[in-house]
Structure 1
C-alpha cells in the first residue's frame, strides 16, 4: 500500500504514470458530455456519481472490511466528498456558460496551484528536467488560455465558476492525498462519492434544475469515463506522485478539451492553440524521464 509521501522513482509501479495520463484524458470528456445531457448541469454531476456508485461500493466494501478506516480517515473522506461536490457543481454550471476550452482551462487551475503548493508550502525543489517541464507546461497553458479565452458578458459568469471549481479541485486533491496514506483508491473514491451525491442532488433541486433525463446515454458515458475510469485512476495515481507531477499531468486536460471543442462544437483551434498543445505534450514527456532512470 503506498504511503502518503510520494514514492521514490524506483518504487513507482510501471502502470502508475499511464494510469495518470489515461485518467486525465477520460476526465477531458466531461464538458462535452455535460453539454449533451438533457438535465441540468448540477443534476448531470449528481448522475455522474450516482450511476457509478454501485460499482464503486462493490469494489470498495471488501477493502473497507479488511482495512477499516479510522474516525479521522472517515472524516477526511467525507470532507473530500463535500469539497468535490462543490467543485463539480461550480464546474458543470460554468461549462454551460462558456466555451469547452475555457471551462477546462479554468477548471484545471489546480495544474498550476498544485506545483505552487509543492514549491511554496512543502518546500519541494524540482529537478532540472522537472523545472523545464514546469516552465514548458505553464507556457503552453498560457498560450492555450490566450488563444481560447474570450472575456465577454456571456462567458464571464462561466469563467468565474470554472475558476472557483479549479480552486476547489486543488483542495480536493490535497485532502484526498491524506486519506490515500493507508487506504486504497476505490475505498476513498466510494466513500467520498457517498458524501458528494446527496450534496449535488440538494443543490440541483435548490436551483430548480431538471433531474430526470430523457436520454440516459450521455450520463452513462459520463459516469463511466469521468467517475469510474477517470476519477478512479486519478485517485490511484495520487498515492504515487508529488503535487508537482500531478499538477503537470492535469495540464493534459485543457489540451484534449481544446481539440474536442474544435471537433464537436466548431471552436476552432488556432496556430497558437496548436503550439500550446504541443508544449503541454512535451512537458509530459519531460516530466516522465526522471522515473525511467
Structure 2
C-alpha cells in the first residue's frame, strides 16, 4: 500500500475531529478516553494476525509506554482547549508539532530535514499561524485554552517522534494497540482522580465518541503511525497541518458551530497546502526492518 496515499487519507480523516468535539457535552477526559477505547477491539484484533516478533515488542515496550502517556496527555489537553478557544486557534497551536518534532528528532534520531523540506515546514507553519491569527480571541478564557493547546503540541510531537523510532521494528497494529491501550488506561485513572464521569452520557455524546474513534483515531492516527515507517516524524507532522485547513472548513459548514473563515484563514490554508506538498516531496525516508 502506498505510504503517501495512506498519509493523505489519514490527514483527511482527522479534519473533523476539532469541529465534532465542540458538539459533545461530555468532559474532555471522557471524550479522549472513549475515542481510544472504542478502537481497541479493532486494533488488537488485527494485531493478532500481524507477524510480529515478540522480542521487538518487548524491547520497545518502555518507549511504547511513554508514547501512550504522551498520547493521553495530548488528547486530554487538546480536547480541553476546545472548550475555551476556537477550533482554528486550538488546532493552530497543536499544529506547532512539526517545530517541536524537528528539534526532538534531530537530537534523538539524528534526522534533519533537507532545504526544500525546511522551506515547506516554514511555509506550512506560517500558513497555520495565519489561520490562528485570523480567528484570535483576546480573552482570559481563550488564553487558557491556547495554553492547553500548546501543551497538546508538545506532547503530540513527542508521541510521533517515538512512533518513528519504534516503527522501525514494530508493526503498526501491534504498536497502535499497545499505545492506545496505555493512553486509555491513563485517561481512566485521570477520570477517577478528577471524579469525572465516563458513563451516563446522552445519545449525541456517544455519536461523537464513535465518530472520533472511527475516523480521526482508527484511520487518522493509525494511518499516520503507518506512515512513520516510511516518512520522518517531522514530515508526518507537517502533513498533519492539513487538519486546521479542513477543520476550519467543517467548522464553517456545520450549522451548530458556524465559524466563518476569514480572508487570512483562507490565505493561510493555501500556504499550508503548498508547504505540505514541498515537505512530502522530499521527506520520505524508508527504514529497514521487519515491521509493516
Where on the TM-score scale, by shorter chain, does this alignment land: which range?
0.7 to 0.9
For residues 213-272 of structure 1, the C-alpha deviation after alignment (integer angstroms, 9 at most, x for no partner) is 221211111110121111110100011112332232121112112222222222221111
Q: Is the 8 A contact 2:6 2:224 kept in 1?
A: yes
- Please, which of 198, 202, 223 is the counterpart of residue 214 of structure 1? 202
Summarize the Cα distance change of 1:196–1:128 in structure 2 as closer, same or farther, 3 Å threshold: closer
* Alpha-carbon contact 1:114-1:246 (below 8 Å) kept: no
Give the conservation status (yes or no) of the 8 Å contact 1:64–1:187: no
1:21 paired to 2:19:
no
Q: Alpha-carbon deviation of 1:124?
A: 4.9
How far residue 161 of structure 1 moved from its aligned partner, in angstroms, is: 0.6
Aligned to 2:100: 113
2:264 pairs with one of 262, 265, 272: 272
Name the counterpart of 1:134. Answer: 121
Long gaps (5+) in structure 1: 1-12
Confirm or deny: 8 A CA contact 2:232 2:283 kept in the other structure: no
- Matched residue of 1:191: which SS? helix
User: Could you tell me how far apart the structure 2 residues matched to 1:40 and 1:90 are?
Assistant: 11
CA distance in 1, matches of 2:24, 2:74: 19
Contact between 2:92 and 2:129, CA under 8 Å: does it hold in 1? no
TM-score (norm 1): 0.87
**Contact 2:52–2:174, Cα closer than 8 Å, also in 1:** no
Higher helix share: 1
**Offset of residue 35 of structure 1:** 2.1
Cα distance in 2 between the residues matched to 1:246 and 1:168: 15
Taking the aligned partners of 2:148 and 2:155, their CA distance within structure 1 comes to 11
* Residue segments in structure 2 that go unaligned for 5+ positions in a row: 285-292
Residues 1:39 and 1:126: Cα distance change in structure 2 (over 3 Å): closer
